[in-house]
Structure 1
């Protein structure tokens, strides 16, 4: 089998397994999905982030981000407000309940990451991260070209 095909197949399998592991990690928390956890983490690191920037960070459509944000807001882990300088912009922040959820996730995440990456050296992890960043960039370019966008 062509190595490029093998890589794509392994990335798809990895995605499925990451979701499976992630679902186990969020069990018993205020989060219902890996996507909610990802979003909450981004919001936690970027207080007051706009919905547009969340879409850009997650590569998720505005419609999907709106639904995810609404579910997180109803769970009480985030809050939203209209930007005071531009009423068209909705901003998102984490609540104290959301911070508690992120604190609850830290030991779970650390343990899982240590197990997952136990067989990799720091040098290999850095190389792997670099390669994945390059792959994401390439896929974004390809995606934008096919959608008729310039970047």
Structure 2
């Protein structure tokens, strides 16, 4: 393997870690966890959506969404109400607290993104986008094609838990 490629892969890892540190710091000032932000954004844009719609859009399991929504209700970010046409179904809405904290995070995330690309011209940004898109295309097998970032994170988490269960069973 070319030393430049190893170096670039190391740089990508460092970018990922630095970005996660800044995002974690932004989230720590709120009641929002990393995986909850996309839920808040979706619910804000699709007021009175169902958990099934959330699960389908984010490409995660309905139980995972149910757990997240329950936690977000407890912290006052979301609220649920019965569907007036179908009492078996509930509708999800964002609270004022949820909207305020989501907007706080969005502003912080935008500042992080601007910091990352400070000094880049529009042409350089476009080229960088093209290069990263090609890297992603090279890594995207049929298994991952069309997946959202949220569902990729769930896949990674599920595999990590399966690996840990496998190690526990071999002791």
TM-score by length of 1: 0.68
Q: Which runs of 5+ in 2 are unaligned?
A: 148-171
Q: Which residue of 2 aligns with 1:42?
A: 42
1:123 counterpart = 2:138: no
Cα root mean square deviation, aligned: 3.5
CA distance in 1, matches of 2:89, 2:140: 27
Alignment length (residue pairs): 136
1:53 counterpart = 2:53: yes
CA distance in 2, matches of 1:91, 1:103: 22
Q: Which residue of 2 aligns with 1:76?
A: 76
CA distance in 2, matches of 1:16, 1:70: 29
1:103 counterpart = 2:106: no
Larger radius of gyration: 2
Q: Which residue of 1 aligns with 2:24?
A: 23
- The higher relative CO (CA closer than 8 Å, separation ≥ 6) is in 2
**Displaced runs of 4+ in structure 1, greater than 6 A?**
128-137
**Distance change >3 Å, CA 70–CA 125, structure 1 → 2:** farther
- Contact residue 19 and residue 34 of structure 1 kept, 8 A: no
Shift of 1:71: 0.7
Alignment deviations for residues 11-53 of structure 1 (CA, whole Å, 9 cap, x no partner): x95766654442222012121x110122112211211111011
Structure 1 stretch displaced more, 126-135 or 82-91: 126-135
- Contact residue 77 and residue 99 of structure 1 kept, 8 A: yes
CA distance in 2, matches of 1:106, 1:131: 27
CA distance in 1, matches of 2:95, 2:117: 31
